[in-house]
Chain A
């Protein structure tokens, strides 16, 4: 009995260490962001600010235009989420519950295409968007995220569980397909749509390589692109950079904490396909 208890103790101790490893960089980021200018650039590095204050945040907003980047990110991530919901919910439902010519073959093709890394498409996509004038626009950022194979797959797997009888009954009552979708299917899909929304929002908010390529003017930058540029300019300004990191990470971290259940559901649903 005693060995079982000490084993449990060791286990908890190891978990505490591991959690420390996972959380320390994030906690330290917050701590440094509250330090006075230059305070973090000494040895040994201070763990906590001498006199916590918001001077780094004030400098961040006053000198870097971060508010505009924050709003850009918010717009892009919100629009991306709405578009992703519209395109993937309809398609996911169609692949699960509606019969149409070539459905199963197309679905297999989509699954097979999951092995293609998105970066392969980036160079031609850039040239195509240049032709139609979408370089340096939010639309250009959003084009690759509207419809996604992962999103369609996620919704389809969930929609399979909607009983056919429910849809049939509505059809016999004379409901149109559009009305069935809005009044029966969407309510039934709500949990997975929350998951999809969360994944899309976090994905677009955190995305770096494509926005870096497509956004050429500073005033269109999203937070990650702006932060990368700032970190090259302000190499020595640790408090400022940490404040910028807090501002970038906090919204997605909070969103995750509030909607964690939906996130984990999507993560595990996505992994079942193997």
Chain B
């Protein structure tokens, strides 16, 4: 036994050292950093560094742009996640009943946006959403709807980014949910049919309960991903117009790497982490109470 013990550590150690040095240590340091006033001056000379306790957190709570960023991020998550999952589920249901030779082809087509480079497709969408010669407004005009200044109107910028994110991401959950659908035994549907359940009732009483654990997983993963909104506003709107698309991470990036308020930015990162953690825990509890996890 002892002989293998050494080999085990030898094989695991390189990865553990890397993870410790470049992930666990920085995470702990992030908390320490958030308790200091680390800024441009400290970057030049560490003697200028002061411990200020929860000062950054107190200041954050009084920073209107932080609240705005938090609100924008919640808007993105609360609207974007259900829309994404609904489209994923719809696509998975369509695929699940389609003739098998079509499934592979459609699955690949619907999944393609997931593997594309976020920055590159954001550039495409910025053009699609262009007020004057964007394809979307052209389509709307054909339907008799006035052009919308998608990325230039504070009321429309976030919905436009949500639309883009749904397009980019729905294929991922679609594949997971499709795998889940295929595990639901056909007998259950047959039995429900014999009992006189219509399609909607079968969906409510057979499909949804059967997908329970998968839906929980998918919603946790999607929420975690959507809370990390950054590249979309960076490329498409630069946080504008009138700060309507500044997300928490965008705010953190600007504070940390544009203004070099690294202590302050660390506090932002930590608050985001705590919020994500709390919401995941709540979802898990909720699911457990209803017996799906």
Contacts and interface: CB of A to CB of B under 8 A. Distances in A.
Interface of A: 8, 11-12, 14-15, 18-19, 21-26, 28-29, 32, 40-45, 86-88, 90-91, 93-95, 98-101, 103, 106, 110, 113, 115-128, 143-144, 146-149, 152, 177, 181, 202, 205-206, 208-209, 212-213, 223-225, 227-228, 231-232, 238, 241-242, 244-245, 248-249, 252-253, 256-257, 260, 263-264, 267-268, 271, 274
* B interface majority secondary structure: helix
B11 A91 contact: yes
B7 A98 contact: yes
Interface string B106-148: 1011111101111111011111100011110010000000000
A43 B132 contact: yes
B235 interface: yes
Which one of A22, A45, A125, A223 has the greatest number of beta carbons of chain B within 10 Å? A22
B83 to A, nearest CB: 13
29 contacts: A18-B91, A22-B171, A24-B135, A25-B128, A26-B116, A28-B128, A32-B127, A43-B133, A90-B14, A93-B11, A94-B12, A98-B7, A98-B12, A100-B9, A103-B8, A117-B272, A120-B27, A121-B22, A128-B22, A177-B4, A227-B120, A228-B119, A242-B123, A242-B124, A245-B120, A252-B116, A253-B112, A268-B175, A268-B179
Interface residues of B, number: 94
B116 A11 contact: no
Contact of A26 (B15, B113, B220, B235): B113
Contacts of A117: 224, 227-228, 269, 272-273, 276
Contact of B98 (A12, A143, A152): A12
Contacts, number: 282
Nearest to A143: B22
A14 B94 contact: yes
B1 interface: yes
A274 B220 CA distance: 9
Given A18-B94, A244-B123, A267-B172, A146 B18 contact: yes
Given A101-B5, A252-B116, A15 B269 contact: no
Contact of A15 (B18, B19, B106): B106
B124 A28 contact: yes
B39 to A, nearest CB: 12
Contacts of A143: 18, 22
Nearest to B99: A8
A62 B245 CA distance: 34
Contact of A268 (B128, B176, B265, B280): B176
* A interface majority secondary structure: helix
A153 B262 CA distance: 32
B138 A45 contact: yes
A249 B18 contact: no
Contacts of B60: none
A188 B8 CA distance: 18
Contacts of A274: 213-214, 216-217, 220, 293
Nearest to B103: A15
B25 to A, nearest CB: 8
B133 A41 contact: yes
B97 interface: yes
A45 B125 CA distance: 14
A119 B94 contact: no
B252 interface: yes
Nearest to B177: A271
A244 B19 CA distance: 34
Nearest to B115: A256
Which one of A8, A120, A252, A264 has the greatest number of beta carbons of chain B within 10 Å? A120
B176 A271 contact: yes
